[in-house]
Structure 1
Amino acid sequence: MTIQTTKTNAVHGGTLRYLKHDSATTGTPMTLSVFTPGGEGPFPVLIWLSGLTCTEDNFTTKAGAYKAAAEHGVIIVAPDTSPRGPDTKGGGVADDEAYDLGQGAGFYVDATQAPWTPHFRMESYVTGELIELIDSQFPTTKTRSVFGHSMGGHGALTLALNHPELFQSVSAFAPISSPTRCPWGEKALGAYLGDDRSAWARHDAALLIEGGATQGVYDDILVDQGDADPFLVEQLKPELLVEAGKASGQKITVRMQPGYDHSYFFMASFIDDHIAFHATRLKG
């Protein structure tokens, strides 16, 4: 696999790299950032999944995560949120004029419907090719956890629930808790997966937890949510995660943070807690 390093910065005693590679999974170039702490390693890995409209750069420049990552000795990987065009053969990649569908809005699923099917395979990309790339190119312990924000919080939860063998722990900021029951999710899952709502269920964290998907796997799931988030009531619905945890016996720590909105100011305020949460479980 040929990896191109497009930019490198020193930060908190470690190295931040922006990378680009041609993905066999999506059939497009994919971009990501990787922070490695100082020292020889090996280090465990934290994969961050970003939200709607984001690229690999939003978390990288705004979250303020690397001081804590250096202190805990963890690699942080932040991939782009979708394939983008043109593809590796010079063809087009499907898109939509709306911000919540298409490029920048991959929803971390493998699309089964045209015109999305050829390239929109973000579940397979994150759980397969991305992990293989990081483990082959960096000094990792081959253990990892996953966290994310909004659409990426949905992605972190559902990928961890569907692929528990890959991840030691999972957390989220303001996740789309039940995409089968909110406008963002209904639009995206309908477009990518079709009208059969039974195919949507494995991409709904609340339904997965309610059905016992994580019993005996994760000792806790950490979720932070701002109570001033404009998307809280209509789109995010963290109360459905709480209810699912109670129904299944899965421990879920949902922290409602007063005064915080949906922005990266919110994540920057609590990112150290999430890195510590994962570091404890990655090194335990």
Structure 2
Amino acid sequence: MQAPNFSISTLSLTGSLDEKLKVITAAGFRSVELGALDLSGSSDGVSGSVELIKQSGVQISALQEVKDFGGHSGRILAYKMELAKSYLRLMRRLGCRLLIVTPATSTHVKLDADRIAADLRTLATLATPLGVKIGFKPLSWSPSINTYVSAWNLIQQADNSNLSLVLDSYQLQAQMQAPDVLDEIPASAISLVQLSDFAMTSVPLVEDQIDIARHHRLYPGEGSHGASICGLVKYCVDKGFGGDFVFDVYNDKYLAMAPAESIQHAVRSREWILEKIGA
């Protein structure tokens, strides 16, 4: 089996972007998933952050994220589109090729598959000449698009080759779903796989799903779902997925640590997964 390429989200670490990039590269990670907030934190502004990233030599797995996208109208839709356009312009400067987009989470947004598909199609069309792919990720707590089956149906309805899926192991585990729910989705439609674990064996309440996702994720091997995560990694590799596997871990405990200490959890998790899958 070919060893997967592991990446890490800059939002999983605390500190300045410069500090994060130094510990990330020192730990042997060749790519990062960037949080937009990290780009505006440099004393030299966004231009300084762009230069730091280029000097570091790391590749960019993706930029996250445009939230609550699709199904809006009027001023909200216009705002979301303008925000996405600003991200796309920034990504062109960065050389970043994937923008992560998540669906609306408000109950006030009516599930209108035609409208959501049209919005995604428009965004994907805007991104195409810039060489940027749109990676759509369902959320288990979204009232509209909360499973990979529904997200894949929506992408097929949008009918734009520049649209793809971002897999998040947490979204599968929160709904107790095995990788075989992805069987109908071709590897070519998957642009990124995010990995994280958590302590609870099941998450029945939506409120718990949100809280764990934002504050209590763990690195694979430190929680209750390690076997499932390893199964997902092997499933994706066997399926033909050749993109990045990103540690996307948000935990207040890790953010209270120095970056050099916190990233050791990612290093141990990387080695643990490789050992378990025999890569």
Instruction: Choose between structure 1 and 2 for higher RCO, CA contacts under 8 A separated by at least 6 residues.
Output: 2
Q: Which has the higher helix share?
A: 2
TM-score w.r.t. the length of structure 1 is 0.36
TM-score w.r.t. the length of structure 2 is 0.36
Q: Which has the higher strand share?
A: 1
